[in-house]
Amino acid sequence: MDFLNAIVAFANFVFVPGLAYGAQLALGALGVTLIYGILRFSNFAHGDTMAFGTMATILVTWLLQSWGVSFGVLPTALLALPFGVAATALVVLGTDRAVYRFYRKQKAAPVILVIVSMGVMFVMNGIVRFIIGVEDIGFADGERFLISARTFKEMTGLDEGLAIRTTTVITLVTAAIAVALLFWFLNKTRTGKSMRAFSDNEDLALLSGISPERVVAVTWIIVAALATTAGVLYGLDKSFKAFTYFQLLLPIFAAAIVGGLGNPLGAIAGGFVIAFSEVTVTYAWKKVLGYVLPDSLAPDSLVQLLSTDYKFAVSFALLILVLLFKPTGLFKGQSV
């Protein structure tokens, strides 16, 4: 019984949250990795692209709510998501037109594009804060729990409860759909294959008549969709705050690099590796250990390796380890 309680506590506090966070990071890292593979630079504005997309979605959500529209047990934000994606796609396409294309024409070095993307990051950062503010904004509505901790306890008779939140399930389902669509697109469609060809060998792609501007535009649209979806899922699961999204840049880049930059499968694996490392290192294991170990060995302290305030140190440490020992990442990606 104690052992079951330990498993349930572990699932409730580590496994399920890690799964949801991992899926959100994976979607973010997919966007970073696509930009790196096709436009060949690390897009520092990605966190703020997520923030912009989420902001647009929140605004549409509020509009829908003011009209009395709701999505039943599901959050209204899911209805607003396509509008958020469209708005973000327009913004990133516009940014590409106004900023990145100029440097692409000059065949600027990737490091210059990275700095350019930092500029874009600051501008987007400002716009988002200007429009929606710097406060924490919760926008999840609908049913909060699929199974609440109390229901679970009553169902199973265990001491520990396993709460399954609606947003967790939505995150996993939406992420799975998004990833499936992305891989179908990249592997089965003509445009998707031309994107992979362009990423693989730019000169040969040009020789084959693949239009770079078209590939770049399609990439930005996909990245806008992935970033907005990742941002909205993260916001539904936790809450929206412009600064938090800016900070998400680190775990997202860590995920993309740990997985192998430019490799979509790697981005997904990296997302989960980073998420689970972060959650396991910052979780206080006292409760789980208390169930598993005999009373004499039960820990007095919290058994928390790192305070949650330091959670970014985990992704940073992993990032450095990977760069030192396996610069191409877990899956064969490009070295940075």
Partner 1 sequence: MAEPFLIGSNMTGGYGKGADILHGCTIGVEAGKIAVIVGPNGAGKSTAMKAVFGMLTLRSGHVKIDGEDITALSPQDRVAKGMGFVPQTSNIFTSMTVEENLEMGAFLRRDDIRGTMEQVYDLFPILRDKRRQAAGELSGGQRQQVAVGRALMTQPKVLMLDEPTAGVSPIVMDELFDRIIEVARAGITILMVEQNARQALEIADVGYVLVQGANAHTGSGADLLANPEVRRTFLGG
With 0-12 / 13-18 / 19 or more C-beta atoms within 10 angstroms meaning exposed / middle / buried, residue 105 is exposed
Instruction: Kindly indicate which of the ranges 71-79, 168-176, 206-214, 278-286 contains the residues binding partner 1, using the contact rule CB under 8 A.
Output: 206-214
CA–CA separation, 101 and 95 (whole Å): 9
Least distance in Å: CB of 194 to partner 1?
A: 6
Task: Return the residue of 193, 239, 265, 281 that touches partner 1, per CB under 8 A.
Answer: 193
State the residue for tokens 């490009």.
334
CA–CA separation, 180 and 23 (whole Å): 13
- Ramachandran quadrant class, 148 (left: phi over 0; alpha: psi -120 to 50; beta: rest): beta
CA–CA separation, 214 and 195 (whole Å): 9
Least distance in Å: CB of 197 to partner 1?
A: 5
Q: Tell me if 201 contacts partner 1 by CB under 8 A.
A: yes
Task: Return the residue of 114, 181, 206, 293 that touches partner 1, per CB under 8 A.
Answer: 206
Amino acid, res. 239 = S
Q: Which is nearer to partner 1, 209 or 294 (CB)?
A: 209
Q: Which is nearer to partner 1, 201 or 307 (CB)?
A: 201
What secondary structure letter does DSSP report for 41?
Answer: S
Q: Tell me if 189 contacts partner 1 by CB under 8 A.
A: no
Close Cβ partners of 258 (under 8 Å, ≥ 6 residues apart) = 266, 269, 270, 273, 274, 318, 319, 322, 329, 330
State the residue for tokens 């705050």.
241
Least distance in Å: CB of 152 to partner 1?
A: 45
Least distance in Å: CB of 199 to partner 1?
A: 8
Give the total of residues touching partner 1 (CB under 8 A).
Answer: 15
Q: Which is nearer to partner 1, 67 or 188 (CB)?
A: 188
State the residue for tokens 């003011």.
66
CA–CA separation, 44 and 58 (whole Å): 23
Q: With beta carbons less than 8 A apart as the criterion, state whether 58 and 242 touch.
A: no
Task: Return the residue of 135, 154, 159, 200 that touches partner 1, per CB under 8 A.
Answer: 200
Q: Tell me if 323 contacts partner 1 by CB under 8 A.
A: no
Q: Tell me if 335 contacts partner 1 by CB under 8 A.
A: no
Q: Tell me if 40 contacts partner 1 by CB under 8 A.
A: no
Instruction: Kindly indicate which of the ranges 21-29, 101-109, 125-133, 207-215 contains the residues binding partner 1, using the contact rule CB under 8 A.
Output: 207-215
Instruction: Kindly indicate which of the ranges 98-106, 123-131, 196-204, 213-221 contains the residues binding partner 1, using the contact rule CB under 8 A.
Output: 196-204
Residues that bind partner 1 (CB under 8 A): 190, 193-194, 196-197, 200-201, 203-210
